[in-house]
């Protein structure tokens, strides 16, 4: 590596610190903008009235176009092909976790991204069976809440939750007994 990137052998610590700070600022900005996309229809974004809350297909397209603005004119069919099932599940989780953070008064001072990262790290240690059931519960919850693209006033805010470990374990037990 030193032969290919010879400048790396004599690192200037001030330059490295500056680059790290710039990357952190950029990441913070991208995450903030992504949060705004995930809260479409929930939080006013300059519109006179709130738009409808997008279903997962439309939200996935919005997120994809936000993350890849160079391809903003790409057709929905191409975006749908690029945004596979697992990425949609991740977007569903990001939306629900963002909403939980937004509506939970005690969570407002805790970074939603820290909460999301912590939960995902904890899930790495769980079985595939658990993860699969958690994904199904996430998607079912999202479809129930937002599948018909409601307005905010039509959503039961008490139902905005991320499936708990107990709910997933109950679902696993239910499927094992069937």
The pLDDT score that the predictor gives to residue 55 is 97
45-55 pLDDT per residue, tens: 777 889 999 99
Please state, rounded to an integer, the average pLDDT across all residues of the chain: 87
By three-state DSSP, how is residue 3 classified?
A: coil
The pLDDT score that the predictor gives to residue 15 is 78
Q: Which residue has the tokens 């990425």?
A: 87
82-126 pLDDT per residue, tens: 898 899 999 999 999 999 988 887 766 678 888 888 888 888 889
pLDDT band at residue 7 using 50, 70 and 90 as cut-offs = low
What's the residue count for the chain? 178
The pLDDT score that the predictor gives to residue 1 is 45
The pLDDT score that the predictor gives to residue 37 is 93
The pLDDT score that the predictor gives to residue 156 is 95
SS percent in the chain: helix, strand, coil, step 5: 70, 0, 30
Q: Other C-beta atoms within 10 Å of 160: how many?
A: 19
């Amino acid at each position: 590596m030193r032969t290919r990137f010879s400048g790396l052998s004599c690192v200037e610590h001030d330059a490295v610190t500056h680059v790290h700070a710039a990357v952190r600022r950029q990441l913070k900005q991208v995450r903030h903008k992504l949060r705004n996309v995930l809260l479409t229809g929930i939080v006013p974004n300059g519109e006179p009235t709130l738009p409808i809350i997008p279903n997962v297909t439309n939200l996935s397209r919005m997120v994809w176009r936000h993350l890849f603005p160079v391809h903003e004119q790409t057709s929905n069919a191409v975006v749908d092909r690029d945004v596979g099932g697992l990425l949609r599940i991740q977007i569903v989780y990001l939306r629900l976790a963002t909403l939980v953070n937004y509506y939970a008064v005690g969570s407002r001072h805790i970074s939603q991204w820290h909460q999301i990262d912590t939960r995902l790290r904890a899930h790495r240690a769980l079985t595939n069976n658990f993860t699969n059931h958690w994904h199904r519960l996430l998607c079912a919850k999202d479809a129930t809440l937002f599948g018909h693209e409601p307005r905010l006033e039509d959503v039961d805010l008490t139902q905005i939750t991320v499936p708990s470990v107990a709910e997933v374990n109950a679902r696993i037990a239910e499927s094992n007994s069937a």
